[in-house]
Amino acid sequence: MTEPIRIFHNPRCSKSRQTLELLTERGIEPEIIRYLETPPTELALSDILDALGLEPRQLMRTGEQEYKELGLDNTDLSRTQLIAAMVATPKLIERPIVTANGKAAVGRPPENVLTIL
């Protein structure tokens, strides 16, 4: 059985809404994960990062106040520490993220997600 297509979604984010609309226009009804309410586990986020080919800081919203308040710009922090911070403060996770077929893409721009479908 194949895994469902998932979107880590923030309905207040225009890019997230546009990405969801792009999927539904193509007849895809993804599983919607409101990651601010239900953040991914550390293992799930690590798997997403691996699928994206990114390190944690590359998927972080570094302009958020919490990024600076939590000292996440400290280059001595490990991958594990950064992932834990993202799970504890999901607002720091760039959005939207779509996962499908063991792959992942960030919907910035929304059309990026088409490459994994």
Calpha distance 82→94 (Å, rounded): 13
pLDDT digit string (tens) for 67-93?
999 999 999 999 999 999 999 999 999
Residue 60 lies in a domain: yes
pLDDT at 39: 96
CA dihedral (55, 31, 15, 54) in degrees, to 10, reads 10
Q: What pTM does this model have?
A: 0.94
- Residue 52 within a domain: yes
**What value does the mean pLDDT take over residues 46-55?**
97
For 5-20, write each residue's pLDDT tens digit.
Answer: 999 999 999 999 999 9
Is 33 a domain residue? yes
> What pLDDT is attached to residue 3?
80
CA–CA separation, 28 and 84 (whole Å): 31
Active-site residue, 30 included: no
**Total of domains in the chain:** 1
Q: Is residue 29 part of a domain?
A: yes
DSSP annotation of 64: S
Question: Mean of the per-residue pLDDT values for the chain?
Answer: 96
Question: What's residue 107's pLDDT?
Answer: 97
Q: Which domain holds residue 75?
A: 6-116
Q: What is the CATH number of the domain that holds 42?
A: 3.40.30.10
Catalytic residue among 13, 36, 51, 116: 13
